[in-house]
Chains A and B, each alone.
Chain A
């Protein structure tokens, strides 16, 4: 299978917390559960480390989708980090939706270290969703209005 050059290849950034989701991604790997290579993972200590500015930055630099994965509520390694992340991301996503960014481009998913299958499934779904939305033009670097 060769890569078609004109085919849409989304850029997807996945922030994964070190304790659950990054380990979940590792498990997906060791279980050979494939998901598209468009997903690139950035390791953060906790979902609460993810600043909304990182997400906007990714979009600014041309990302087509950004997903944040952390420990399930109640299981945070730092006990409360994902609760804060949950509120922050809810408000941020709502704002992005409000200014006209398609809300499928952002997602939060709780993935435990044991959920390799869920990690892989989530990434497959997310990539598919981004494919259906197409290239991110709204939040991309528009340079000028018209």
Chain B
């Protein structure tokens, strides 16, 4: 982290960047939040640790409109989102100084809590300079610990890899934390009967409170005005009217990002109701891979997306029924 702060200081002081986009400590030991730093002395609040899950690439949409360059800290998986945003002309590559930060997997405090670790006062073992094998918590009930991997976000278990897709320089080491199959959950649902599937999603989606956190955090959901806030579809402002609305919202939201979603997992991370929203996105990704060939959004900033592309021999929609 110190190396990162030193470099940020250097860039700010030399005037090469006008601000730094990173994280600062939150009000709890495990909830750092995205922050801008405009002066070198402000960097004392800068943190970067295992809890810095937030994907900062979306913030660059606004930062691209500001004067001067912004140093932005991007983890390997965030760089996919950044590429996708370049492709869609939403961020200005020239306004960003991308520091690819090392990542050893990001943490989900809810997982720790589920392991019975409550009343947390401080955490150690989550610094990126640490081995990141064990997390030790000082709690009001005494010291507790768990394996780092056991408290990792779901998305880190299916990590896309430790390589940054785009960067100006890289600070810190990354490791591949993949230890599960990315589409295993999707496959499990696919194997259910229609009634089971319906019950599963009804259960999940009935939790939705339409807070729009998923939409606000999603780097692909970056529309100036969301179609669900638009008067042009007669679909605006209908939160909580009926469960169909939630279904429509999530199906359409996932459809709108299909072929553009990099599977960064932010939607699931921020959902206050713990809805596994990535199950929608990943279903589209799985279908796209299977039907139209492997595609990873954001792997580069040029490739044509699968929904703005076609071949004469594409499968017919009836394949959905045929493959059962």
Contact = CB atoms under 8 A, between A and B. Distances in A.
Nearest to A97: B320
Contacts of A59: 244
Which residue of A53, A103, A140 has the most chain B CB atoms within 10 A of its CB atom?
A53
A99 B201 contact: yes
In this complex, the member of A57, A80, A99 whose beta carbon has the largest number of chain B beta carbons within 10 angstroms is: A99
Interface stretch (A29-37, A38-46, A84-92): A84-92
Given A94-B283, A94-B320, A142-B243, A87 B314 contact: yes
Interface stretch (B121-129, B168-176, B287-295): B287-295
B202 interface: yes
Nearest to B283: A98
Interface residues of A, number: 41
A44 B292 CA distance: 27
Contacts of A106: 317
B247 A99 contact: yes
A52 B235 CA distance: 13
A93 B317 contact: yes
A101 B195 CA distance: 8
A21 B190 CA distance: 33
A107 B202 CA distance: 23
A60 B248 contact: yes
B194 interface: yes
A131 B202 CA distance: 24
A53 B233 CA distance: 9
Contacts of A95: 251, 254-255, 280, 283-284, 287
A12 interface: no
20 contacts: A53-B233, A57-B248, A73-B312, A84-B308, A90-B291, A90-B314, A90-B315, A91-B258, A91-B288, A92-B255, A93-B320, A97-B197, A99-B247, A100-B194, A100-B196, A100-B199, A101-B194, A103-B320, A108-B316, A108-B318
Interface of A: 52-53, 56-57, 59-60, 73-74, 80, 83-84, 86-104, 106-108, 138-145
Which 10 pairs between the two chains have the least Cβ-Cβ distance?
A: A100-B198, A83-B310, A100-B197, A108-B317, A90-B317, A93-B320, A89-B317, A99-B201, A103-B321, A94-B320
